Copies of this chain bind each other. A is one copy, B any other.
């Protein structure tokens, strides 16, 4: 079974290549970018400016193939792919919760952006803690690693 999607827009950021990119929004604090929504979908942006944060789903368009075991940027051990956020996945869909500063026409001005320039945008959803943020969580291998994530940068391993 094949499932087909088409971009609804494109994400622009200061990151022109994967090396040296921040890992996840905490490492991209303050980094600004835009999500340009194509003309035909812009009517769907109504009311979105009331939300301070939005969920972007996008296509890791530079990702080719995948390994089910990977060494994540934030660790030195081999981990199961689905316990990581590595971009090379069977279905390379990226998810970032970013801050929405304002909307100009079809352009969303966003902040805390850990996304590669030119990334095809697949969907925008309002970020709602009641839906998306359970209260008590356990973090497996990331429990230790998370303390250092904001200082780590991407390298070429997931190119």
Q: Is the CB of A83 within 8 A of B139?
A: no
In the assembled complex, the Cα of A112 lies from the Cα of B68 at a distance in Å of 27
Contact of A120 among B3, B41, B49, B137 (CB under 8 A): B3
**Copies of this chain per assembly:** 2
Given A51-B83, A138-B51: A2 and B3 within 8 A (CB)?
Answer: no
Mark A residues whose CB is within 8 Å of B.
1-8, 24-26, 41, 43-53, 55, 57, 59, 68-69, 79-85, 89-91, 93, 95, 97, 99, 112, 120, 122-134, 136-143, 146, 149
In the assembled complex, the Cα of A99 lies from the Cα of B84 at a distance in Å of 17
Given A4-B2, A90-B8, A128-B142: A48 and B133 within 8 A (CB)?
Answer: no
